[in-house]
Structure 1
């Protein structure tokens, strides 16, 4: 299985329409990985993204999304950070094509099963994939077959979704990592870590020593910072905590 590890075990989580190569370059002083995107890859996902823009949300909508993925990753070749790309699609083929690009660029491919906006869920993207485990696993399997390092961004507290069981299915399909937005259920990190050998990235509320220490105690391999990912004060504080609580125990899968 391809390696997910990055050092330090601190990632910058994607923020739609904002997380580009320049953002990742700025954060490289603190983080070992940065997930660019999210990017809508196919026609239905792009239609949903345009609807989000129409109501004021930031989204990446380049004319050629796959070329954009390649160009953004190419811009980070001289930056000491492991890049990843968060992608959305309603079909497997564009995910496979994005995975091919990520494999060539030694980047992580992150399938978005996280965003909960109605526009995305209606077309079958984002959080709706958590309720359609077989389809999500097919996406993972298709992407992993390229040799890329593939994972999924998920969220806790979705009614009817057994996250540890889903994580086992993702692992069997070829996923190497899972990026978990724990919401207000931080202990779900332990449930997922105990259920699989996936590299577990814990997200939500990572701001200080206490949150990093808590996620480390639950078995996270890394943590990620979301909205404050462009704030050097927060990143410096989290990086110090990561060095104390996570770096000695980072593992590769």
Structure 2
């Protein structure tokens, strides 16, 4: 899927091509975004901006994705784009752009901001698996590599079963914000054959090894993704782990 087995995770409105290039020495993939694609989610994003959150609000979000991915065409890092939409046509359109750039399209079932969830996007998809599966299906039909970003500790959600359902619909990657619930990584690894990325608190050898011992195929770095000292430690630990596995 990508190597080294370290991904940079998106921070809404901050993770762009320049950010990805800055971390390319340490990571095999970078998830840009998140970006709101349709009018419902873009209205929600504008509300988030009004209360001092950062969002990408280009006049044409699909064109913005295309331009950002083009910026990364000469770098070794594999890009992905984390996207949010309440409707299906923009999912298809952005997935086609990602396919053209050999980029990953990542369905956001992770954002917990109330304004975004009220549109039916983000974390609300965890409680509406049929809707999430439809987004995955539409993206997968384009031939793009599809990831789904999930979070643990949402009451009433059977995350391993949900992971199985979205992989059955074509998701190749499950990207999990473990939220101090590392055992869920093991549960998903046992339930699916997907490429599993573990996120949350990845900082050093101990945190890397914990997730990989639970069955993750890679780890991702969120907030400290712009700190070379953290990226270096995580890259070194991940390389060491997989070197021993191969040996």
CA distance in 2, matches of 1:248, 1:99: 36
Deviations 1:3-30 (A, max 9, x none): xx10000000000111000000000000
The aligned residue for residue 224 of structure 1 is 220
Shift of 1:187: 1.1
The aligned residue for residue 106 of structure 1 is 102
CA distance in 2, matches of 1:246, 1:119: 41
SS in 1 for 2:220: strand
Within the alignment, does 1:66 sit opposite 2:62 as a pair?
Answer: yes
Mapped contact 1:153–1:178 kept (Cα < 8 A): yes
The aligned residue for residue 13 of structure 1 is 9
CA distance in 2, matches of 1:74, 1:248: 35
The structure 1 residue matched to 2:136, chosen from 131, 136, 140, is 140
TM-score when normalising by structure 1: 0.96
Unaligned ranges ≥5, structure 1? none
Within the alignment, does 1:48 sit opposite 2:44 as a pair?
Answer: yes
CA distance in 1, matches of 2:109, 2:10: 13
Deviations 1:187-224 (A, max 9, x none): 11000010000100000000000010001100100000
The structure 1 residue matched to 2:152, chosen from 156, 159, 177, is 156
Q: RMSD of aligned C-alpha atoms?
A: 0.9
TM-score when normalising by structure 2: 0.98
Hey, which bits of structure 1, 4+ residues long, moved more than 3 A? 246-250
Shift of 1:184: 1.2
CA distance in 1, matches of 2:244, 2:48: 41
How many residues are treated as equivalent by the alignment?
A: 246
The structure 1 residue matched to 2:204, chosen from 204, 208, 217, is 208
Within the alignment, does 1:185 sit opposite 2:181 as a pair?
Answer: yes
Unaligned ranges ≥5, structure 2? none
The aligned residue for residue 116 of structure 2 is 120
Deviations 1:109-163 (A, max 9, x none): 0000001010101111110000000010010001000000001000001000000
Within the alignment, does 1:22 sit opposite 2:32 as a pair?
Answer: no
Greater length-normalized contact order (CA 8 Å, ≥ 6 residues apart): 1
The aligned residue for residue 75 of structure 1 is 71
CA distance in 1, matches of 2:100, 2:169: 21
Deviations 1:50-98 (A, max 9, x none): 0000000000000000000000000000011000000000011100100
